[in-house]
Amino acid sequence: MESFAGDWLSLRVQADSAARSQTLADRFIKQLPAHPRVLDVASGAGANAFYFETETGWSAPGLAPDWTLVDGDPDLLMRARGLNGCADVVIADLTPGISPELLAGVDGVTASAFFDLVSEDWFDDFARSVCGVPLLLALSVDGRWRWSPAHDRDNDIMALFARDQRRDKGFGPALGGGAAMAMIRILTTHGFMVSSRRADWRLGAADAGLLDALTRMIAAAVLPYGLDASDWLARRRHEIERGVLRLRLGHMDLLAVPGADNTS
C-alpha cells in the first residue's frame, strides 16, 4: 500500500478544507443520529474528522460523533489522537478491504482523498460491505486541471501524470481521474442514492508550499515514463516564487445515502 508523508498531508489541509462541499457534509450529518459512531477510512492524521469538528459545528455537546479512525500508518494515526471526540484509532492493512469488525455498529462512513487510489474491484467490494449506512466520500480527483499561466508542455505532462495516478497503489489498478464517475456508477448499482459536488483545489500565491510540493511530485511522477519535466518544473518554481502561478485541480465530493429499495 502506497503511503504519503505527513508533511504532504499537512500541506494540503487548507486547500482540502476550502474545496470541500459543506452542503454535502451538512446533509451527511442530518442522515445520522445524535452522537453517532462514524468510521473514517484511510484517515491518515485525522484531517477529515478535524474538518467536521472545525467547519460544521459537529462538536457540539450531544451531537459529536464517536470517531473510529482506521489507517495502515501508525505514525500518522499518532497525530490524530488529540482530536476531540476521537473514540478510537485502529491500525489496519486496508488492501484486502474493510473488515466486518470495523463496520459493526457503525452509523456512517467517511473518507477523504482516498478512493482514487483504489481499484474498481476494491471499491465494488467496499460499496457492498457498507450497504445500509450513509457515506461521505470527499476529494476524489476527477481528471480536470487548469494551469495559469499555461505552459506548452502542460498537456503532455498532465496526461502522463494522469496515467501515473492509475498505476497500482497496492489496491489493484487505481481509478485515478476516473474515480468519481466509477464510484457513482458502483454505488448506484448497490442501491445508494448519490449526490455529487465539485470540490476543486484553487491554488495561488497563498498556497506556495503546496504548489511547490505538487509540481515536484508531478515532475517526478512523469520521469519513469520517459518525459524529463525539469524545464517545466524550473518555470513553475519561478512562477511560484513570483506569486503568479495558479492551478485549479478538479476533485469531487460524493454523498451516498442508502435507497429505500436497497437489497444489495
Q: At what angle do helices 208-222 and 230-242 cross, to 10 degrees?
A: 180
Which residue type, as a one-letter code, is found at position 189?
T
Q: 206: which residues sit within 8 A by CB, 6+ positions away? A: none
Mean pLDDT of 236-259: 97
Q: What is the pLDDT of residue 264?
A: 37
pLDDT tens, residue by residue, 154-212:
999 999 999 999 999 999 999 999 999 999 999 999 999 999 999 999 999 999 999 99
**Choice between 59 and 207, residue whose per-residue pLDDT is larger:** 207
User: Would you say residue 23 has pLDDT above 50?
Assistant: yes
* 214: confidence class by pLDDT, cuts 50, 70, 90: very high
Q: Which domains does the chain have, with CATH numbers?
A: 6-145+172-204+250-258 (3.40.50.150)
Q: Cell numbers of 64, please?
A: 459529536
Q: 122: which residues sit within 8 A by CB, 6+ positions away? A: 97, 171, 172
pTM for the whole thing? 0.91
Kindly state the percentage of the chain with pLDDT values over 90. 78
Q: What single-letter DSSP state applies at residue 223?
A: G
How distant, in Å, are the alpha carbons of 1, 90, 196, 197, 217 from that of 139?
A: 19, 22, 11, 10, 18
CA-based end-to-end distance of the chain: 28
* 261: confidence class by pLDDT, cuts 50, 70, 90: very low
72 closest CA partner among 179, 217, 173, 171: 171
Q: Is 158 helix (H, G, I), strand (E, B) or coil?
A: helix
Question: CA 186 to CA 131: how far, in whole Å?
Answer: 12
Q: What is the pLDDT of residue 259?
A: 85
Mean pLDDT of 122-137: 96
User: Would you say residue 5 has pLDDT above 90?
Assistant: no
Q: What single-letter DSSP state applies at residue 220?
A: H
Least confident piece of the model among 11-25, 52-66, 150-164, 181-195? 52-66
The DSSP-derived string for 18-37 is: HHS-HHHHHHHHHTS-SS-E
Kindly state the percentage of the chain with pLDDT values over 70. 92
pLDDT tens, residue by residue, 79-100:
776 554 456 889 999 999 999 9
Q: Cell numbers of 257, please?
A: 445515502
